[in-house]
């Protein structure tokens, strides 16, 4: 221990010493150099998930990135990434909000829930608003409504998970009868000529006929796009709602053996090689 603490950080590799292919692909940031005060001075290679780099120049450089791990004093990232705050042994929903989600998505979720509460809506809608973009915050953006619904399904009322799933499709379709117009943000994001794919159309039509339609629709109505980044909403504001509407597993999210535990573990250790 004391020997490694006195050792010079010889494992440190300067960016110009890395293969040109990695530098050109901008992949040097996937290599975690040892921290000066780390007991273990090995470099850690983070291999980006296929879903993150498919279709980008970075996917062609995975081999070069993996070759880096064969160097001495270098291993693949497994377990805690020192760049991320440590999670407690039995993490709760609040821990994921505070220790894993970025400030933008976190604020978006909390502010949407606050708007729902200010609009006098019920706890199911407030809960759905609080969780509606949880997949964007911590997992994957593509199909975020579907991923998000699955992530929380074992812990919330079926209606809440359903609303989270369907909000994604409903977002694309106005319902003027309840004051929901096609969002300007979507025109900015996707262009005025964008048309949603068939599966989104079908899901929207089915949702319109469903008895829980308004729950999902209310998520889209309280889903805010223009918010003041300086407004801070404390998670504790929703502690009571979460306590009544989210069945926090005793073993901690990720360790309860539920069919979605692995999804929570992926957010605890998002950079694991395997």
Q: How many CB atoms lie within 10 A of CB 122?
A: 12
Choices 24-32, 56-64, 128-136, 204-212 (CB under 5 A): range interacting with Fe ion? 128-136
**In terms of CB distance, is 47 or 242 closer to Fe ion?**
242
Find the binding residues for Fe ion in span 55-114 (CB under 5 A). none
Joined tokens for residue 153: 């399904």
Choices 62-70, 126-134, 200-208, 239-247 (CB under 5 A): range interacting with Fe ion? 126-134
Determine the residue with CB nearest Fe ion.
223
**In terms of CB distance, is 50 or 142 closer to Fe ion?**
142
Q: Are 149 and 170 in contact (CB under 8 A)?
A: no
Choices 25-33, 65-73, 157-165, 216-224 (CB under 5 A): range interacting with Fe ion? 216-224
**Total of chain residues touching Fe ion, rule CB under 5 A:** 2
State how far the alpha carbon of 43 is from the alpha carbons of 3, 29, 48, 67, 273, in Å: 18, 12, 16, 13, 14
Shortest distance (Å) from residue 80 CB to Fe ion: 30
**In terms of CB distance, is 146 or 269 closer to Fe ion?**
146
Indicate whether 223 belongs to the interface with Fe ion (CB under 5 A).
yes
Choices 8-16, 153-161, 200-208, 222-230 (CB under 5 A): range interacting with Fe ion? 222-230
- Which one of 11, 27, 117, 133 is in contact with Fe ion (CB under 5 A)? 133
**In terms of CB distance, is 104 or 243 closer to Fe ion?**
104
- Chain residues binding Fe ion by CB under 5 A are 133, 223
């Amino acid at each position: 221990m004391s020997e490694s603490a006195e050792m010079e950080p010889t494992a440190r590799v300067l960016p110009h010493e890395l293969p040109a292919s990695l530098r050109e692909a901008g992949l040097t940031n996937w290599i975690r150099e040892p921290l000066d005060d780390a007991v273990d001075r090995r470099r850690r290679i983070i291999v980006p998930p296929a879903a993150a780099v498919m279709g980008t120049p970075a996917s062609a450089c995975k081999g070069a990135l993996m070759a880096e791990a064969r160097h001495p004093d270098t291993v693949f990232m497994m377990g805690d990434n020192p760049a991320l705050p440590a999670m407690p042994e039995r993490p709760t929903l609040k821990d994921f909000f505070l220790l894993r989600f970025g400030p933008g998505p976190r604020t978006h979720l909390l502010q949407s829930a606050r708007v729902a509460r200010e609009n006098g809506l019920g706890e199911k809608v407030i809960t759905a608003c609080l969780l509606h973009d949880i997949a964007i915050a911590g997992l994957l953006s593509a199909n975020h409504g579907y991923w998000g619904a699955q992530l929380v399904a074992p812990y919330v009322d079926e209606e809440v998970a359903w609303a989270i799933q369907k909000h994604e499709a409903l977002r694309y379709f106005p319902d003027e009868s309840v004051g929901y117009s096609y969002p300007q943000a979507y025109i900015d994001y996707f262009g005025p000529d964008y048309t949603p794919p068939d599966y989104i159309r079908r899901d929207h039509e089915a949702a319109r006929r469903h008895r829980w339609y308004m729950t999902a629709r209310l998520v889209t109505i309280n889903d805010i796009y223009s918010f003041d980044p300086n407004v801070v909403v404390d998670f504790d504001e929703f502690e009571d709602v979460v306590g009544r509407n989210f069945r926090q597993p005793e073993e901690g999210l990720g360790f309860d053996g539920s069919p979605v535990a692995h999804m929570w573990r992926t957010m605890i250790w998002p950079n694991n090689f395997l």
